[in-house]
Structure 1
Amino acid sequence: MEEIKSLFVKDKLEKTIESLKENGFEVEVVNTPAEAEELTLKLIPEGSSVSMGGSVTLNMTELLPKFRTEKYKFFERFNQPTWEDTVRVMRESLLSDYLVTGTNAVTEDGFLMQIDSGGNRVAGMAYGPNNVIVITGINKIVKDIHEGYDRLYYAGPLNSKRLNHKTPCNYSGKCEDCTTGMRMCNFVSVVKNGNRPFGKTHIIFINDNLGY
Structure 2
Amino acid sequence: MEKIKALLLKDKVERTVKNLKNNGFEVICVDTVEEAEKITMDLIPEGSSISMGGSVTLNMTGLLEKFRSEKYKFFERFKQPTWPATVKVMRESLLSDFLVTGTNAITEDGFLMQIDSGGNRVAGMAYGPHNVIVITGINKIVKNITEGYERLYYAGPLNSKRLNHKTPCNFSGKCENCSTDMRMCNFVSVVKNGERPCGKTRVILINDNLGY
TM-score (normalizing by structure 2): 0.99
Tell me whether 1:131 sits opposite 2:131 in the alignment: yes
Tell me whether 1:78 sits opposite 2:78 in the alignment: yes
In structure 2, C-alpha distance between the alignment counterparts of 1:133 and 1:40, rounded to whole Å: 8
Residue 53 of structure 1 is matched in structure 2 by 53
Could you report, residue by residue, the CA deviation over 1:167-193 in whole angstroms, capped at 9, with x for unpaired residues?
A: 000000000011111111000000000
- Structure 2, unaligned runs of 5 or more: none
The code of the aligned residue for 2:68 comes to R
In structure 2, C-alpha distance between the alignment counterparts of 1:207 and 1:102, rounded to whole Å: 15
1:2 Cα deviation from its structure 2 partner: 1.7
1:70 Cα deviation from its structure 2 partner: 1.1
Residue 63 of structure 2 is matched in structure 1 by 63
- 1:182-193 to structure 2, matched below 5 A, reads 182-193=182-193
State the SS of the aligned residue for 1:203.
Answer: strand
TM-score (normalizing by structure 1): 0.99
In structure 1, C-alpha distance between the alignment counterparts of 2:119 and 2:88, rounded to whole Å: 14
The code of the aligned residue for 2:25 comes to F
In structure 1, C-alpha distance between the alignment counterparts of 2:79 and 2:100, rounded to whole Å: 17
In structure 1, C-alpha distance between the alignment counterparts of 2:74 and 2:199, rounded to whole Å: 19
Residue 147 of structure 1 is matched in structure 2 by 147
In structure 2, C-alpha distance between the alignment counterparts of 1:173 and 1:86, rounded to whole Å: 27
- 1:30-179 to structure 2, matched below 5 A, reads 30-179=30-179
The code of the aligned residue for 1:22 comes to N
The code of the aligned residue for 1:186 comes to N
In structure 2, C-alpha distance between the alignment counterparts of 1:84 and 1:181, rounded to whole Å: 15
1:5 Cα deviation from its structure 2 partner: 1.2
In structure 2, C-alpha distance between the alignment counterparts of 1:10 and 1:29, rounded to whole Å: 12
1:64 Cα deviation from its structure 2 partner: 0.4
Residue 203 of structure 2 is matched in structure 1 by 203
Could you report, residue by residue, the CA deviation over 1:50-108 in whole angstroms, capped at 9, with x for unpaired residues?
A: 00000000001000000000111100000011111100000000000000000000000
State the SS of the aligned residue for 2:17.
Answer: helix
Identity %: 80
- Structure 1, unaligned runs of 5 or more: none
What is the root-mean-square deviation of aligned Cα atoms in Å? 0.5
In structure 2, C-alpha distance between the alignment counterparts of 1:66 and 1:2, rounded to whole Å: 39
The code of the aligned residue for 1:75 comes to F
The code of the aligned residue for 1:20 comes to L
Number of residue pairs the alignment of both structures matches: 212
In structure 2, C-alpha distance between the alignment counterparts of 1:35 and 1:3, rounded to whole Å: 26
In structure 2, C-alpha distance between the alignment counterparts of 1:7 and 1:43, rounded to whole Å: 31
Could you report, residue by residue, the CA deviation over 1:95-134 in whole angstroms, capped at 9, with x for unpaired residues?
A: 0000000000000000000000000000000000000000
